């Protein structure tokens, strides 16, 4: 059976040595209690839960799937019990305000726990994960009564939550949604419509499910300006805080999916269901997007999770599987053949997984720390700067890490050869489960348009300059670092090219707006490779410093330097082809008349 081992040493390296997390927390009001000892204790306990409870259920969830019977959903064996342990451990309340029963810990600490739960068992992790958006929405926009009624139950984990956005006729374009909200005399609303692709929309793991639903009021303006947000509980709350009468919301079906079988993806029918307005009328999208950055970081975690899981298991297999001899002669002469890890192409796949997983971890943690600062810093300018950097990093993290996570999952299967195609080893499940990550929370293509169009060009490049200045200062500070002499000139050159290339695309787009769409995905991937290059250079700088001082585990730090070199020499050159395709323009995509698309 495949296994998961929480990579605590690497997590601690990024947090403590590269990003200096404890110092970060000491500078944020309300986070002073998050000391190094506390952080390590939380991570240790989280690792035990993920390794011992969640990981063994990963294949169970895939093989059994969720069962649908007359509107009711039964989760796979062990899922419900694991959730009860999760609640008893206080995990749902970690990052929420003490006023509503939370522990008040920083958002970034929750992200680290989510990495471990997601890597151990992505399908299970989605049940509590989907609650996070509902809780953040209520915390930011709910009334005091709504928070007392619903948020306290969500924070405790007694109830779970969903986000009900998509409808059968509209995906990303929410301006087309048709779900209706009819005002009632008592101040409530009757919600009617159908939502699809609702993860964890129905299940047996909690006493109640609180749906956060987008719908239109009768006199609402057309398009996205006429969308409001509502609370629609599965069971109406009782005066004593329990789950009472069934509301007019039901699960019509669960989807038969390529992967994540252990999580129910539901068609939800709202039939004059009682709902309650959150925030102002016709401002539903504004309310929803207040937490969208952290939600998309949560999806970026899926790319990291599948890369890490694939790397761990394919590495173990590569060390044990015997196949052929090394071209330089036997490396294990006492065995019938050499383990496949001696072969260069196997090494390339393993190193690619390692580079994307460890670089991706650094990117997610950096992004999570910006979310902390944007939410909690005392100085308004500091909050604004962090928010701008987070806005730039979010589409890069979400799209780049899910694309490279899928690549890494496929490398994991490939290392296993024919055995990777067989279910018992778990590698084909990892590929199937990973595939959705490039689709939900905005496809790669949508993220790319958001990055290039909204975050970069619509700000005249100012958002990008925020980050390129950071990289420039780092390169300048490390210019004389002999240990990084093969990395810094390359990073500095690409950082400069990033701005120049952006200007070229922007100038072309002034003549033809399709140039933005034609360049966007390549631009995002190019941006992702440079972002990870910066983070790998930072990690290499720390590793080189530790080695020079003779501190810590020399093998660990040497591996960081070697992997950084691999990234710069084997993966970063992909930027050259991306530049070529971006500069080729929109004409080669749009020249063929639609009528000539034939088969």
CA distance 41 to 37: 6
Residue 386 CB contacts under 8 Å (≥ 6 apart), including other chains: 370, 371, 372, 373, 374, 377
CA distance 242 to 236: 8
For 495, phi and psi rounded to 5 degrees? Answer: -60, -40
Phi, psi of 14 (to 5 degrees): -65, -45
173's CB contacts (< 8 A; 6+ apart) are none
Structure tokens at 430: 């990892």
Q: Is the dihedral of CA 339, 341, 343, 345 positive or negative?
A: positive
Which residue, among 239, 218, 217, 240, has the nearest Cα to 228 in the 3D structure? 217
- What separation in angstroms does the CA of 554 have from each of 5, 542, 561, 591? 22, 12, 11, 56
Q: What is the rounded end-to-end Cα distance, in angstroms, of the chain?
A: 44
Beta strands (DSSP E) in 248-388 are: 249-254, 265-278
Q: Is 255 a catalytic residue?
A: no
Residue 220 · residue 228 · CB < 8 Å: yes
Q: Which of 107, 115, 308, 441 is catalytic?
A: 441
Q: 101: alpha, beta or left, given left = phi > 0 and alpha = psi -120 to 50? A: left
Q: What is residue 258's DSSP assignment?
A: S
As a whole number of angstroms, the distance between CA 591 and CA 54 comes to: 51
- From the CB of residue 4, how many other CB atoms can be counted at a distance below 10 Å? 21
Give the three-class secondary structure for 165.
coil
Q: How far is CA 276 from CA 93, 195, 212, 270, 518, in A?
A: 24, 17, 10, 13, 42
Give the gyration radius of the chain's Cα atoms. 24
3-state secondary structure of 251: strand
Strands 249-254 and 189-199: unpaired
- Is 314 buried (19+), middle (13-18) or exposed (0-12) by CB count in 10 A? buried
Q: Please state, in angstroms and rounded to a whole number, the distance separating the CA atoms of residues 223 and 412.
A: 44
Asked whether 249 and 269 are in contact (CB, 8 A), the reply is yes
Contact (CB, 8 A) for 433 and 66: no
Inter-residue long-range contacts of 510-516, CB under 8 Å, 24+ positions, other chains counted:
512/586, 514/586, 514/589, 514/590, 515/585, 515/586, 516/449, 516/452, 516/453, 516/457
Catalytic residue annotation: 441
């Amino acid at each position: 059976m495949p296994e998961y081992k929480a990579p605590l040493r690497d997590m601690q390296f990024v947090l403590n040595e590269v990003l200096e997390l404890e110092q970060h927390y000491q500078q944020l009001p309300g986070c002073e209690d998050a000391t190094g000892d506390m952080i390590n204790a939380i991570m240790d306990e989280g690792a035990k839960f993920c390794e011992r409870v969640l990981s063994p259920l990963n294949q169970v969830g895939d093989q059994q799937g969720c069962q649908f019977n007359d509107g009711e959903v039964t989760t796979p064996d062990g899922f419900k019990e694991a959730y009860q342990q999760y609640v008893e451990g206080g995990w749902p309340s970690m990052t929420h305000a003490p006023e509503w029963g939370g522990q008040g810990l920083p958002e970034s600490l929750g992200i680290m726990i989510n990495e471990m739960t997601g890597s151990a068992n992505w399908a299970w992790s989605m049940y509590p994960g989907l609650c996070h958006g509902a809780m953040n929405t209520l915390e930011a926009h709910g009334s005091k009564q709504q928070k007392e009624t619903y948020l306290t139950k969500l924070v405790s984990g007694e109830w779970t939550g969903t986000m009900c956005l998509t409808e059968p006729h509209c995906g990303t374009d929410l301006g087309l949604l048709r779900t209706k909200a009819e005002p009632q005399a008592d101040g409530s609303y009757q919600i009617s419509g159908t939502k699809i692709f609702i993860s964890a929309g129905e299940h047996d793991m909690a006493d109640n499910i609180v749906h956060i639903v987008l719908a239109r009021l009768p006199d609402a303006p057309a398009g996205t300006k006429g969308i409001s947000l509502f609370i629609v509980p599965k069971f109406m709350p009782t005066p004593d805080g329990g789950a009472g009468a069934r509301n007019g919301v039901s699960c019509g079906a669960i989807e038969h999916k390529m992967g994540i079988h252990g999580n129910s993806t539901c068609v939800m029918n709202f039939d004059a269901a009682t709902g309650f307005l959150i925030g102002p009328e016709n401002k539903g999208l504004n309310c929803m997007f207040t937490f969208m950055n952290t939600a998309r970081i949560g999806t970026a975690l899926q790319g990291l999770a599948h890369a890490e899981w694939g790397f761990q298991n394919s590495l173990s297999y590569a060390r044990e599987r015997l196949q052929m001899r090394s071209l330089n002669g036997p490396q294990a002469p006492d065995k019938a053949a050499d383990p496949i890890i001696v072969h260069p192409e196997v090494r390339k796949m393993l190193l690619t997984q390692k580079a994307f997983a460890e670089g991706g971890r650094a990117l997610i943690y950096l992004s999570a720390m910006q979310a902390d600062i944007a939410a909690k810093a005392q100085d308004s300018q500091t909050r604004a700067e962090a928010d701008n950097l987070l806005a730039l990093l979010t589409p890069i993290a979400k799209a780049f890490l899910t694309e490279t996570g899928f690549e890494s999952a496929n490398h994991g299967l490939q290392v296993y050869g024919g055995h990777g195609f067989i279910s018992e080893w778990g590698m084909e499940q990892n590929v199937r489960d990973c595939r959705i990550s490039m689709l939900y929370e905005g496809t790669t293509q949508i993220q790319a348009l958001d990055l290039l169009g909204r975050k970069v060009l619509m700000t005249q490049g100012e958002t990008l300059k925020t980050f390129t200045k950071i990289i420039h200062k780092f390169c300048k500070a490390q210019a004389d670092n002999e240990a990084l002499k093969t990395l810094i000139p390359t990073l500095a050159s690409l950082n400069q090219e990033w701005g120049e290339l952006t200007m070229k695309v922007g100038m072309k787009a002034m003549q033809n707006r399709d140039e933005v769409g034609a360049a966007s995905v390549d631009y995002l991937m190019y941006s992702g490779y440079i972002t990870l290059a910066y983070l790998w250079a930072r990690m290499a700088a720390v590793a080189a410093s530790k080695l020079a001082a003779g501190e810590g585990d020399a093998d660990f730090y040497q591996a960081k330097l070697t992997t950084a070199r691999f990234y710069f020499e084997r993966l970063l050159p992909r930027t050259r082809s991306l530049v070529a395709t971006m500069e080729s323009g929109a004409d080669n995509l749009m020249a063929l008349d639609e009528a000539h698309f034939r088969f």
